[in-house]
Amino acid sequence: MTALELIIDLHKNSERQGPGSEKETLKALELINPPPDQKLKVADIGCGSGGQTITLAKNINGQIIAVDLFPEFLEELNKKSRELELANKIITLVKSMDDLPFGKEEFDIIWSEGAIYNIGFASGIKKWKDYLKVGGYLAVSELTWITDSRPKEIEDFWKREYPEVDTASNKIKLLEDEDYSLVGYFYLTQDSWIENYYKPLEARFEAFLKRHEDSELARKIVNDHKAEIDLYLKYKDYYSYGFYIAQKN
Ligand code: SAH
């Protein structure tokens, strides 16, 4: 197995593939406050196994196209949506977020939790704007510094891993430069990282290593994840995922 296949295997049997929570998905949705009688067309980009997709499907009137690059995650989402009888509201699509087959001004809402970094925030908000109706909403979560300055160790780590990491004010400026108006901003709580993401992830390490016979590559992947968790625990007061809700002008 390649490193990528192993990473997918480590992450696929989980509620989420990144920090987040049902409560915060709903908080972002409340800021949009869609009229209950309007049938919405929503895209959920980089949906993973669809933690937030299910929450959206339960709480909106309309249809969600849930997109991810990896079919393994979408199979999990399809299984869940059938079990919850939400399959009529969720269509899954294997596609890369930088090559979407969508039409101009097709969507009322574009959602993306913890995934836009794959093509970069600046590029993503620009590309995806075309698919949004005028007056439509973008709701994205993105790695964000939550203080004005921070220790060098964490600054260097994230600058290397994700050079676009920045403060909320700079991210909001990028949205405004692309002609979106900010409707709301908040950042994810530490529970969304620790209880909802890192703890369940750690709980899967042992079985994962066993499944892959303690291979060198499997061990490296676990160690990389552990290092990321340790850094989070050390520096959690300096960064989170910011949730940006913005309307296309
Ligand atoms: N939204 C989910 C998953 C976030 S993890 C959650 O919050 O739990 C990031 C997701 O982006 C993963 O599911 C990964 O498979 C997906 N991804 C990575 N590169 C992608 C690309 N180029 N196009 C579409 N999805 C991609």
Q: How many CB atoms lie within 10 A of CB 82?
A: 11
Q: What is the pLDDT of residue 123?
A: 98
- The response to whether residue 50 sits with its C-beta less than 6 Å from ligand 1 reads no
Q: Does domain 16-190+240-248 have CATH number 3.40.50.150?
A: yes
116-173 confidence digits (pLDDT tens): 999 999 999 999 999 999 999 999 999 999 999 999 999 999 999 999 999 999 999 9
Alpha-carbon distance of 182 to 240, in angstroms, equals 19
Q: Ligand 1 atom closest to Cα of 53?
A: 1
Q: Which residue has the tokens 């992947």?
A: 221
Are 46 and 115 spatial neighbours (Cβ–Cβ below 8 Å)? yes
**Contact criterion met (CB below 8 Å) for 99 and 69:** no
Q: What is the pLDDT of residue 27?
A: 98
Specify the residue for token string 């969508």.
102
- pLDDT value, residue 76: 97
- Of 92, 101, 88, 41, nearest to 70 (Cα)? 92
Angle formed at CA 16 by CA 37 and CA 201, multiple of 5 degrees: 165
Ligand 1 atom at minimal distance to the Cα of residue 15: 8
Give me the percent of the chain exceeding a pLDDT of 90. Answer: 98
- 96 in contact with ligand 1, CB cutoff 6 A: yes
Measured in angstroms, how far is the CA atom of residue 75 from the centroid of ligand 1? Answer: 14
Integer CA distances (angstroms), 249 to 75, 177, 179, in order: 36, 11, 6
143 lines ligand 1 (CB under 6 A): no
pTM metric for this prediction: 0.97
Task: From the CA of 115, give the closest atom in ligand 1.
Answer: 9
At residue 4, the 3 state secondary structure works out as helix
pLDDT digits (tens, 9 = 90+) for 5-64: 999 999 999 999 999 999 999 999 999 999 889 999 999 999 999 999 999 999 999 999
**pLDDT of residue 204 exceeding 90:** yes
- Please, are residues 167 and 148 in contact by the beta-carbon 8 Å criterion? yes
Tell me, in angstroms, the distance from the centre of ligand 1 to residue 211's CA.
23
User: What is the pLDDT, as a whole number, of residue 36?
Assistant: 86
Does the beta carbon of 51 sit less than 6 angstroms from any atom of ligand 1? yes
Q: Is 115 in the pocket of ligand 1 (CB under 6 A)?
A: yes
CB distance 14 to ligand 1 below 6 Å: no
